[in-house]
A and B are shown apart, each in its own frame.
Chain A
Amino acid sequence: MTALLEVEDLRVAFTRRGEPDTVAVDGVSFDVKPGEIVGLVGESGCGKSVTSLAVMRLLPERGNRVTGSIRMDGEDLLALSDSAMRERRGRDLSMIFQDPLSSLNPVIPVGLQVTEVLTRHRGMKKHAARREAAELLDRVGIPDPTRRLDSYPHQMSGGMRQRALIAIALACTPRLLIADEPTTALDVTIQAQILDLLEQLVAETGTALVMITHDLGVVAGLCDRVNVLYAGRIVERADRHELFRAPRHPYTHGLLGSIPRLDGPPGEELAAIRGSVNDNLPWAAPEGGACAFTPRCPRALDVCGEVTPLAERAGTRLLRCHNPVPVAEGAA
């Protein structure tokens, strides 16, 4: 099946006059097939949100340089004019953000925030848009939707706000939905509800979903394929089951090792990855390159600090490591 979205060698650098560029995303390539759920996983600062904003072309107008290509249906989004991109945003591709309270306009009713997408992209008149908006709210599980149209964001609960944002994002049944940590600001029970809802809706509409998260639990329950990001690069990519069964990159391995397991022995100590990604951020590779994970890697060799590991493909898996975890050990 041909890909819906193809991101190739995406590089995002933040520029500041008189200072060296800060490279937030460094040669990221991945694709998303129609109807597929793809995860972008990594800790804060690894470049996952910047990647998604680059795809939406929502990065600030100035102060950054985006290179590479982002093709949707074979059309390079980076080459589109601003107005052509606005035409597609909200209609062909849309996005759900992390904090549902701050992501909704506090001074206008939720209804208008839904209907404005409908009038923009589906050419609906006021009353038709209102009816459709009520239906959308109903579909995302907001009770008493007609009355809720006149509510303001502050009058709704966190879960309900995120549902409203999902309704907005899905209003024009886009073919691609990017969800940037959509459950991080919600409490655990609501998180599960929202994830279920997302899964059900993308299945119904055939929308492809890019799920951005730091939470491997979310990935395990939802994603078909997973990209693990570290310091602006994809260090490992695999099908969900492959990844959880046999993580090869020491970073992925470490992440999985730090999750408590229900079937583990009682009193088992959780493994931690030493240091923090911020220890060597912004990441600036030394001359000749290096693996950014080297300072924190338990399996680091001398070569890791000297040569950037190349992406190696084996079947559906991609791996960027000089000294990967052996399959048998990873399966433990």
Chain B
Amino acid sequence: MLRFIVRRLIQVVPTLLLLSLLLFAWLRSLPGGPAAALLGDKATPEKIAQLNTVLGLDQPVPVQYVRFLGRAVTGDFGNSLITGEPVTTEIARALPATIELSIAALLLAVLLGIPLGYVAARYRGRPLDTTTVIATLVGVAVPVFFLGYLLKQFFAVDLGWFPPSGRQAVGIDATHVTGFAVLDGLLTREFDASWDALVHLVLPAIALATIPLAVIVRITRASVLDVMGSDFVRTANSKGLAPRIVRERHVLRNALLPVSTTIGLQTGLLLAGAVLTEKVFVWGGLGTLLAQAIERRDYPRLQAVVLLGALVYVIVNLLVDLSYAIIDPRVRVR
């Protein structure tokens, strides 16, 4: 098992290298550049050239890449062209917000999605199932930012049930320990701060969870239907077992295999959704950093955030593979 993990972690290195190369090439081939974006209206060819020299962007791309790599291995991803701060500092500050939002969304999607998918499969063809199938179709089809604005308008502005934006109410004097607002409140026993953070989380988490939720429901439903028709479930029924045991021991465990793969893939996609959700709810996490960086061609920040996203993706899918080994003994042997 340990060898498996180590081997997979070693595989991460070439993956990230290749990705950084592609990213580097792609960024440099975009029209415009950080200099033009920074200078705005005042940009003249001379000034742009001058700034490019200062930023090292006048060098050939391969030279820039090698320099980038050389610094990156020491953990230095350069300074943001927008704020001048080291991008690692920026990321460290924004990361907890995004992780908190992603975990909330993922919990929502998994804890609702698996039971819903199961129930839909069990009552296949009946109104409950049809409703679920249609709802998930809508869930996948509605753009995240549109849904976000809709939720915000209805539940925050019209009904006033939830705050419309931000992570914490202005008046709350919360102590920051880890940067995870809900956790900090619990750690410092400032439960009102925890509650406040939780209330702020609800709408963005729903907006971000919609697509993964819909996908998980669908995959669970399909997978449960598939397993319910399988020979070993028929065997289980031929033993006269109680329906609950057939369901939990024989159907669900087998049906969860494809679902866990889906959860992994969806987790990887959360960052993309976070960009839009954070924008709508003024969340101030990685998504916000990324959106800004794209607008302003902030190469160092873009490179760091995208590579971090890739790293998270790879690690999450490693965890999924490990969970496979727990659920499925056939994988364990290898």
Could you tell me which A residues sit within 8 Å of B by CB distance? 56, 58, 85-91, 94-95, 97, 99, 102-109, 112-113, 116-117, 120-121, 152, 154-155, 165, 168-169
Q: Evaluate contact between A102 and B231: CB separation under 8 angstroms.
A: yes
Interface presence of B250 (CB below 8 A): yes
Q: Evaluate contact between B239 and A107: CB separation under 8 angstroms.
A: no
With A94-B238, A108-B249 as given contacts, are A103 and B329 in contact (CB-CB < 8 Å)?
no
Interface presence of B242 (CB below 8 A): yes
Q: Which residues of the partner chain A approach B236 to less than 8 Å between Cβ atoms?
A: 105
With A105-B254, A154-B329 as given contacts, are A89 and B232 in contact (CB-CB < 8 Å)?
no
Output the nearest chain B residue to A171 by Cβ-Cβ distance.
B239
CA–CA, A91 and B241, complex, Å:
11
Interface presence of B67 (CB below 8 A): no
Q: Evaluate contact between B327 and A90: CB separation under 8 angstroms.
A: no
Q: Evaluate contact between A88 and B240: CB separation under 8 angstroms.
A: yes
State how many angstroms separate the Cβ of B181 from the closest Cβ of chain A: 39
State how many angstroms separate the Cβ of A199 from the closest Cβ of chain B: 21
- Show 17 A/B contacts (Cβ-Cβ < 8 Å), sorted by A: A58-B234, A86-B240, A86-B242, A87-B240, A90-B239, A102-B230, A105-B232, A105-B236, A106-B254, A107-B253, A108-B253, A113-B235, A117-B240, A120-B239, A120-B240, A168-B239, A169-B238
State how many angstroms separate the Cβ of B125 from the closest Cβ of chain A: 8
With A107-B328, A108-B253, A152-B330 as given contacts, are A121 and B232 in contact (CB-CB < 8 Å)?
no
Q: Evaluate contact between A168 and B235: CB separation under 8 angstroms.
A: yes
Q: Evaluate contact between B234 and A97: CB separation under 8 angstroms.
A: yes
With A108-B253, A154-B329, A154-B330 as given contacts, are A103 and B239 in contact (CB-CB < 8 Å)?
no
Q: Which residues of the partner chain A approach B234 to less than 8 Å between Cβ atoms?
A: 58, 97, 103
Interface presence of B245 (CB below 8 A): yes
Partner of B235, one of A120, A154, A165: A165
Q: Evaluate contact between B231 and A97: CB separation under 8 angstroms.
A: yes
Q: Evaluate contact between B250 and A105: CB separation under 8 angstroms.
A: yes
Output the nearest chain A residue to B236 by Cβ-Cβ distance.
A105
Count of chain B residues near A, Cβ 8 A: 22
Q: Which residues of the partner chain B approach A165 to less than 8 Å between Cβ atoms?
A: 235
State how many angstroms separate the Cβ of A330 from the closest Cβ of chain B: 38
Partner of B232, one of A86, A106, A120: A106
Q: Which residues of the partner chain A approach B230 to less than 8 Å between Cβ atoms?
A: 102
Interface presence of B237 (CB below 8 A): yes
Q: Which residues of the partner chain B approach A102 to less than 8 Å between Cβ atoms?
A: 230-232
CA–CA, A169 and B329, complex, Å:
24
Q: Which residues of the partner chain A approach B329 to less than 8 Å between Cβ atoms?
A: 106-107, 109, 152, 154
State how many angstroms separate the Cβ of A90 from the closest Cβ of chain B: 4
CA–CA, A106 and B324, complex, Å:
13
Q: Evaluate contact between B253 and A91: CB separation under 8 angstroms.
A: no
Instruction: Knowing that A86-B240, A117-B239 touch, tell me 20 more A-B residue pairs with CB under 8 angstroms.
Output: A86-B242, A88-B240, A89-B240, A94-B238, A94-B239, A95-B238, A97-B238, A102-B230, A103-B231, A103-B235, A104-B232, A105-B249, A105-B254, A106-B328, A108-B250, A108-B253, A116-B245, A116-B249, A120-B245, A152-B329
State how many angstroms separate the Cβ of A164 from the closest Cβ of chain B: 11
Q: Which residues of the partner chain A approach B333 to less than 8 Å between Cβ atoms?
A: 154-155
Q: Evaluate contact between A58 and B231: CB separation under 8 angstroms.
A: no
State how many angstroms separate the Cβ of A184 from the closest Cβ of chain B: 13
CA–CA, A235 and B327, complex, Å:
49
CA–CA, A109 and B327, complex, Å:
12
Q: Which residues of the partner chain B approach A104 to less than 8 Å between Cβ atoms?
A: 232, 235
Q: Evaluate contact between A89 and B330: CB separation under 8 angstroms.
A: no
